[in-house]
């Protein structure tokens, strides 16, 4: 997985095992946790966002890092 900073110069590469999670209830539970963390609010109920995840055809990609490399 590779992440690029907003300045387009910093770059983080994460090497590890990736797992696609596309079934309920885990997909909605993990997504709700992320929504809560990003918004600063309590996470929504997983059952409340499941239909939206289906409509948007979303999958959670869980990466267990083995090594990271940061470039500046």
The tens digit of pLDDT for each residue in 30-55 reads: 999 999 999 999 999 999 999 999 99
Enter the pTM of the model: 0.80
Q: Quick one: pLDDT at residue 52?
A: 96
| Upper half-sphere CA count for residue 41 (Cβ side, 13 Å) | 6
- What tokens does 45 get? 């109920």
Q: Quick one: pLDDT at residue 8?
A: 81
Cβ neighbors of 16 (< 8 A, separation 6 or more) are 1, 63, 64, 65, 66, 67
The alpha-helical segments, DSSP class H, found in 1-72 are 26-39, 46-55
pLDDT over 90 (residue 61): yes
- CA dist., res. 31 & res. 54, Å (int): 12
* Residues 60 and 19 sit within 8 Å (Cβ to Cβ): no
């Amino acid at each position: 997985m590779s992440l690029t900073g907003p300045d387009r110069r910093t770059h983080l590469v994460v090497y590890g095992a990736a797992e696609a999670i596309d079934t309920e209830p885990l997909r909605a539970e993990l997504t709700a946790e992320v929504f809560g963390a990003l918004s600063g609010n309590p996470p929504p109920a997983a059952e409340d966002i499941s239909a939206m995840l289906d409509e948007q055809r979303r999958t959670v990609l869980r990466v267990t890092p083995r090594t990271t490399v940061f470039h500046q």
